[in-house]
Chain A
Amino acid sequence: MKFLLLFALITIGGFLRIFNVDQNPPGLYIDEVSIGVNAYEILTRGVDEHGVSFPLFFEAFGEYKMPAYIYLVSGAMAVVGKIDLAVRLPSIIFGILTIPLLYLFIRKLIELNPKQIQNNKFQISKFKIPIVAAALLALSPWHIHFSRAGFEANVALFIFLLGSYFGLLFWSNKKYKFLILCFIFFSLTLYTYNAYRVISPLMVLIISLFIFLKFIKFRKKVVAALIGFALLILPVVQFSMTEAGATRFDDVSAFTKYEDRSSQEKLKIYPMEVMNNYFSYFSLEFLFSTGDNNNRHQLPGFGLVWRWLIPFTLIGFYQSMHRKNKLFKYSFLTMLLLAPLPASIVQPNPHSLRSLLMVLPLTVFAAYGLVWFFEHFKKYKLLVAFCLLLISFYEFSLFMHNYYFHYPRANSPDWGAGYKQMTLRMNEIKSGYDHIVVDQNLSNASSYIDFYGDGIEPLYVDTSWTKPDAWDEEDVLYVRPFYGNREGEYIIENIYLPQRDDIHAQFWKL
């Protein structure tokens, strides 16, 4: 029965993450396209888009991407081909797998100290909280959205949780192999998403400290594992200290705007800036109301967590902090406090992608709160459950309606919609032209043409370009952004954003 229920949740979660995923989000975003281009080059030629053979760090748009997700996409392309789905497939799969993994993780935590999570009134089985948490994660708007696009952070989240799970297995079984696996997976997170360059080493240090203090006979082995971990992450650490490796941080640093201030002012302002950024991640508005206001990161008008979960999340947090099960308490409290750390020193803030790790502790606290509430207030259980079901069902339906019907149309400008249609149309008509010229104001068009183009090698020009005399007798396909004229002498076709009347680009024949 339990496994049937878990299987049903995985199926539902899987459906929500897969349904129409090649159309929603509408179009690959530029980062996804860059991943796709590099992944395909790796698959076919063993080099990245700059010709570097099997690189450890991929140069893209002046900064560097971590390699893990790109290599995963290469593997996906080997199976499904060079399509949009391949770019998103690793995120989808690992997003779905996070659901049962969270169930196993919480269940193991409760098994380790079953009595300490209960008090006289609160008697639970080791099944309720894990299954409710799995259900909440399967239906989490935060996790659903980031599982549907090519976000490295989502894969890193799974790997981080897997590393934590192996850490838990070591705590339970005292087998050294689990500790090694734990540290290996934590080291892998650094090669998956930038934020874990801060989170994972801190997590490893905390785990090592606990083991060092609690298990005396494992002290030497912990040190050895730590050294192994340090060796595994050495390439990332070394790279981070180079100018190239620091580019990303320089671009998004939260302190850039204070560069012209005096040292004394910086001493005052920097801590306040970091604190302000850090606390923004615990803002109720950010979590339950508007998200980070980036339409690519969530459905506009909806938060990252269901509104109806607010009281249960707070109850669950309060109750779990007062339980004696330190492992349960500190595991999720550590995740919750660590998650916003790396994002606090960069901008903008808050940022729902960089803080994705928070979805796990918040889901668990909400599950704890729900189970505690219904165990504690048995008198009005049915009435409350009925009201809750109505409210949650309505909010869920509203989200589904907006996400699956409104979002692909209303928010296509926030993604790469239009570029794919433009490039595919260029593929169809290119044979009728001697030259293809693309206006550079179609920003990032080159990446989309690299991914979707079929042997197209356009000339990229600025807006002042005119057809040279040498091309007088030749046909030129001139691809430009929409500058305001829907019709004109040279315009042969308008490329519209999907499901909208907005023109993304125009084809001119010169």
Chain B
Amino acid sequence: MIKKIILFIGVFVIISTVGPFLDCWRFDERIYFSPLEMDLKLIEAVHNDVGYAPNIARIFHNKAQLGAFFVFDSYLYFFDIRFLAPIFSLVGYVGIFWGFWYLFGLKNKFRQFIISLLLVLPFIEIFKLIDNTFARALIISVPYFVLSIFGIWQFLKSHKWIGVLVVLILVVLSVWYTDVFGSGIVDACSKV
């Protein structure tokens, strides 16, 4: 019972921290696929190959290569270890790590479902497949939210009083640090 109460408090803290960000969440401009930017980079790269045979230049500098690298690099952004750190509270952020840890211990459809979501959803943001910013932010954050709660609950279940203590400490620190997160909302919103 006490573990469920702790979990509930943790979820409350996570929601109260994540919630304000969803309204103003803007991803970094550099992760959005821009054909114009790709063309400009291609022109610059080809110009730097002055004196070389055009075929050689085209082997190394072409839209396929630049596009692939751009999408790949943007995709990596969503798997950065600090991704969502400014948005989720401390307990929520640690919960995500626990979520991944316990997820790989499962061998069921839940694991496959969550992993599939995490692998596919970033493309929605990279290619702006949905116009509404709030909707995109919500779609991206939900799997991590679920993962965080799952991770916290698994941690509480697999550890006795020490698990309760650790999560409680994280919750207290999260609330204490809310000042830092709160004052950084405006900056974080434009950076994340």
A295 interface contact, C-beta 8 A: no
A282 interface contact, C-beta 8 A: yes
User: Nearest Cβ in chain A — how far from B5, in angstroms?
Assistant: 27
Complex Cα–Cα for A284 and B81 (A):
8
A398 interface contact, C-beta 8 A: yes
B69 interface contact, C-beta 8 A: yes
Q: Is the CB of A268 within 8 A of B76?
A: no
Complex interface: chain B residues within 8 A of A398 (CB): 60, 65
Complex Cα–Cα for A268 and B52 (A):
55
A406 interface contact, C-beta 8 A: yes
Complex Cα–Cα for A318 and B49 (A):
41
Q: Is the CB of A289 within 8 A of B48?
A: no
**Chain B residue at minimal CB-CB distance from A410:** B48
**Which single member of A269, A310, A401, A409 contacts B60 (CB below 8 Å)?**
A401
Interface residues on B, range: 20 to 34
Q: Is the CB of B60 within 8 A of A272?
A: no
Complex Cα–Cα for A406 and B176 (A):
50
Complex Cα–Cα for A132 and B107 (A):
31
B39 interface contact, C-beta 8 A: no
Complex interface: chain B residues within 8 A of A402 (CB): 60
User: Nearest Cβ in chain A — how far from B30, in angstroms?
Assistant: 9
Complex interface: chain A residues within 8 A of B49 (CB): 405-406
A443 interface contact, C-beta 8 A: no
> Quick one: CB contact mask for B138-181 with A, threshold 8 Å, 1 for yes?
00000000000000000000000000000000000000110110
Q: Is the CB of B82 within 8 A of A268?
A: no
A290 interface contact, C-beta 8 A: yes
Interface residues of A in 255-301 (CB under 8 A from B): 268-269, 272, 276, 279-280, 282-285, 288-290, 301
Complex Cα–Cα for A290 and B76 (A):
11
Report the count of interface residues on A (CB-CB < 8 A). Answer: 25
B38 interface contact, C-beta 8 A: no
Interface residues of B in 45-67 (CB under 8 A from A): 45, 48-49, 52, 60, 65
A123 interface contact, C-beta 8 A: no
**Chain B residue at minimal CB-CB distance from A301:** B69
**Which single member of B48, B80, B176, B179 contacts A285 (CB below 8 Å)?**
B80
Q: Is the CB of A289 within 8 A of B81?
A: no
B12 interface contact, C-beta 8 A: no
**Which single member of B48, B76, B177 contacts A284 (CB below 8 Å)?**
B76
**Which single member of A272, A280, A289, A406 contacts B76 (CB below 8 Å)?**
A289
Given contacts A279-B85, A397-B60, A398-B60, contact A268 B177 (CB under 8 A): yes
> Quick one: CB contact mask for A123-147 with B, threshold 8 Å, 1 for yes?
0000000000000000000000000
B79 interface contact, C-beta 8 A: yes
B77 interface contact, C-beta 8 A: yes
Interface centre among B45, B65, B73, B76 (most CB of A within 10 A): B76
Q: Is the CB of B179 within 8 A of A279?
A: no
Q: Is the CB of B73 within 8 A of A285?
A: yes
Q: Is the CB of B85 within 8 A of A290?
A: no
Complex interface: chain B residues within 8 A of A409 (CB): 48
Complex interface: chain A residues within 8 A of B82 (CB): 276, 279-280, 283
Complex interface: chain B residues within 8 A of A307 (CB): 69, 72
Complex Cα–Cα for A378 and B12 (A):
48
Q: Is the CB of A269 within 8 A of B180?
A: yes
User: Nearest Cβ in chain A — how far from B68, in angstroms?
Assistant: 10
**Which single member of A276, A290, A406 contacts B48 (CB below 8 Å)?**
A406
Complex interface: chain A residues within 8 A of B81 (CB): 279, 282-284
> Quick one: CB contact mask for B66-99 with A, threshold 8 Å, 1 for yes?
0001001100110111100100000000000000
Q: Is the CB of A284 within 8 A of B72?
A: no
Complex Cα–Cα for A276 and B80 (A):
12
**Chain B residue at minimal CB-CB distance from A318:** B104
Q: Is the CB of B180 within 8 A of A283?
A: no
Q: Is the CB of A272 within 8 A of B73?
A: no
**Chain A residue at minimal CB-CB distance from B86:** A276
Identify 17 residue pairs between A and B in the complex whose beta-carbon atoms are under 8 Å apart, listed by A's number. A268-B179, A272-B180, A276-B85, A279-B82, A283-B80, A283-B81, A284-B77, A284-B79, A285-B80, A288-B76, A289-B73, A290-B73, A301-B69, A310-B76, A406-B45, A406-B49, A410-B48
What 10 pairs between A and B have smallest CB-CB spacing? A289-B73, A284-B76, A282-B81, A401-B60, A283-B80, A279-B82, A406-B48, A279-B81, A268-B180, A289-B76
Known contacts A289-B73, A289-B76, A290-B73, then 8 further A-B pairs from the complex at CB < 8 Å, ordered by chain A residue: A272-B177, A276-B82, A279-B85, A283-B81, A284-B77, A284-B79, A307-B69, A397-B60
